[in-house]
């Protein structure tokens, strides 16, 4: 949460820089395709595309800044964090959000640009306190110390990165050990939060936009790893060891096949991805080396391709014909087929949820997502995920 609060003020400056870059690229594309070639259709198409990317990026930066404000408020609510440094951080996040909202409404000017640059300097100071100096975001602002920290990092970036990773590793290990303590071993629970999922989706969308989708495999692996870490089936926590580099080659092949087949391979792509994800999923208590990224031999998915495609088509068709009302029953039917076909560390799963139980929560999540223009969706996902996991058991568990 400290990292998010430290990074979020940078969103205002990043929005300015990205805006100028897109404006420059838009001008080049129009000049080349409209004046030199000329291909007016391509010129207008690229111009419109850059315009859409610009507006979507501003919205995403607004959401990032909003998340920074929420994180700052939660941090400042702790007694030990109520310092001048933390108060300034909260103010910087609020100011960044105001600037981005004004830019979103088209009211940006030179004054806001200068404020964005000032917020960028503060963000660098906060990042120095959190990442480089390790004094915490609530510590005093000391520009000289920050400059020395960045200078030291620039001289030995690899050494400093390894040192930071070594300092963070014991904390992660300790946190994991504590989180594995489940009050009732017979229970299945999901303990992730909506704010975490919101930030993951926000950063994932920004990364995919900046890299034109090439970062997709890494974003998927991070999101799946988060979801697995917070899932407990019959008292046993899951773990995921897949990496973006492992998925990247497969992802490119699947994407190209989807294009060649005019989208038809997209149905199979979902199954292939699920098979790959499950082959890298295991129960944490059976994994001796958490850094090993090899496939787990006793994990996988045995579902038939035609059944997978059939369920996807039925879900789309029934959802359309019933305006989404019958979706909970179709989803539960799919999960009852999916669970016995999933193998995790050699264990089969079973699902005992029903459409009638899911319907109430599904309607609430749907309505709140519509009312909030989609902002509630991450929290809705977590709510529905908790319901799903609570109805999943290991097949041979009591």
- Average the pLDDT over 223-229 and give the result: 93
pLDDT at res. 250: 92
CA 44 to mean position of chain CA atoms: 32
Listed by start position, the domains of the chain span: 2-141, 180-394
Tell me the pLDDT tens digit for each residue of 374-385. 888 889 999 999
| Class of residue 7 by CB neighbours under 10 A (exposed 0-12, middle 13-18, buried 19+) | buried
pLDDT of residue 167: 52
In angstroms, the Cα distances linking 398 to 188, 198, 234, 238, 346 are 12, 34, 8, 18, 17
The model's pLDDT over 70-108, given as tens digits with 9 standing for 90+, comes to: 888 878 777 777 788 788 788 888 888 888 888 777 776
What tens digit of pLDDT does each residue of 138-156 get?
A: 777 777 777 777 777 777 7
Tell me what pLDDT residue 218 has.
92
Q: Given CA atoms 119, 124, 130, 135 in this order, what sign does their dihedral have? A: negative
| Higher local confidence (pLDDT), 93 or 242 | 242
Q: Please give the Cα distance from 20 to 98 (Å, whole number).
A: 20
Tell me what the mean pLDDT of segment 252-259 comes to. 90
User: What does the pLDDT look like over 100-123, one tens digit per residue?
Assistant: 888 777 776 777 788 888 888 888
Which pLDDT does position 199 carry in this prediction? 85
User: Whole-angstrom Cα distance, residue 302 to residue 221?
Assistant: 21
Residue 170, token pair as written in the block: 């014991």
383 or 207: whose pLDDT is higher?
383
Separation CA 120–CA 147 (nearest Å): 14
pTM of the model: 0.65
Q: For the chain, give the secondary structure using H, E and C.
A: CHHHHHHCCHHHHHHHHHHHHHHHHHHHHHHHHHHHCCCHHHHHHHHHHHHHHHHHHHHHHHHHHHHHHHHHHHHHCCHHHCCHHHHHHHHHHHHHHHHHHHHHCCCCCHHHHHHHHHHHHHHHHHHHHHHHCCCCCCCCCCHHHHHHHHHHHHHCHHHHHHHHHHHHHHHHHHHHHHHCCCCCCCCCEECCCHHHHHHHHHHHHHHHHHCCCCCHHHHHHHHHHHHHHCEEECCEEEEECCCHHHHHHHHHHHHHHHHHCCCCHHHHHHHHHHHHHHHCEEEHHHCCCCCCCCCCCCCEECCCHHHHHHHHHHHHHHHHHCCCCCHHHHHHHHHHHHHHHEEECCEEEEECCCHHHHHHHHHHHHHHHHHCCCCCHHHHHHHHHHHHHHCEEECCCC
**What is the pLDDT confidence band of residue 170, given thresholds at 50, 70 and 90?**
very low
- Higher-scoring residue by pLDDT: 171, 84: 84
Residue 275 neighbours by CB under 8 Å, 6+ apart: 300, 301
Q: What is the pLDDT of residue 233?
A: 93
Between 276 and 182, where is the model more confident? 276
pLDDT at 187 over 50: yes
What percent of the chain is modeled with pLDDT above 70? 90
In angstroms, the Cα distances linking 153 to 78, 148, 156 are 31, 9, 5
The closest of 68, 108, 113, 127 to 92, measured between CA atoms, is 68
pLDDT at position 177 over 50: no
C-alpha 109/C-alpha 99 separation (Å) is: 10
Torsion of CA 192, 243, 296, 253, to 10 degrees: 120
- The mean pLDDT of the chain is 82
**Residue 176 above 60 pLDDT?**
no
């Amino acid at each position: 949460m400290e990292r998010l609060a430290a990074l979020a003020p940078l969103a205002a400056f990043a929005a300015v820089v990205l805006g100028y870059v897109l404006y420059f690229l838009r001008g080049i594309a129009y000049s080349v395709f409209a004046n030199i070639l000329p291909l007016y259709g391509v010129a207008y198409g690229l111009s419109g595309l850059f315009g859409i990317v610009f507006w979507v990026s501003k919205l995403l930066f607004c959401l990032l800044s909003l998340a920074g404000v929420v994180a700052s408020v939660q941090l400042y609510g702790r007694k030990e964090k109520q310092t001048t440094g933390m108060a300034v951080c909260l103010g910087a996040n609020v100011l960044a959000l105001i600037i981005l909202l004004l830019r979103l409404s088209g009211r940006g000017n030179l004054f806001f640009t200068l404020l964005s640059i000032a917020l960028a300097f503060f963000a660098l100071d906060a990042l120095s306190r959190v990442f480089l100096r390790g004094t915490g975001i609530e510590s005093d602002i000391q520009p000289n110390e920050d400059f020395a920290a960045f200078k030291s990092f620039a001289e030995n970036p690899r050494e400093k990165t390894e040192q930071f990773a070594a300092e963070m590793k014991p904390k992660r290990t300790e946190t994991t050990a504590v989180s594995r303590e489940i009050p009732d071993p017979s229970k299945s629970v999901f303990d992730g939060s909506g704010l975490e999922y919101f930030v993951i989706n926000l950063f994932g969308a920004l990364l995919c936009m900046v890299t034109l989708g090439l970062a997709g495999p890494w974003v998927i692996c991070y999101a799946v790893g988060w979801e697995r870490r917070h899932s407990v089936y019959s008292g046993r926590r899951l773990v995921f060891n897949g990496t973006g580099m492992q998925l990247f080659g497969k992802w490119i092949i699947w994407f190209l096949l989807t294009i060649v087949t005019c989208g038809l391979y997209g149905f199979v792509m979902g199954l292939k991805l699920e098979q790959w994800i499950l082959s890298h999923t295991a129960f944490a208590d059976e994994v001796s080396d958490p850094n090993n990224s090899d496939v787990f031999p006793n994990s996988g998915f045995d579902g038939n391709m035609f059944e997978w495609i059939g369920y996807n088509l039925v879900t789309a068709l029934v959802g359309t014909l019933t305006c989404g009302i019958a979706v909970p029953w179709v989803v539960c039917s799919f999960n009852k087929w999916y669970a016995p076909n999933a193998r995790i560390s050699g264990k089969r799963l079973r699902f005992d949820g029903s459409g009638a139980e899911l319907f109430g929560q599904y309607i609430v999540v749907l309505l709140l997502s519509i009312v909030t223009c989609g902002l509630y969706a991450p929290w809705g996902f977590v709510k529905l995920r908790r319901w799903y996991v609570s109805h999943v058991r290991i097949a041979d568990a009591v």
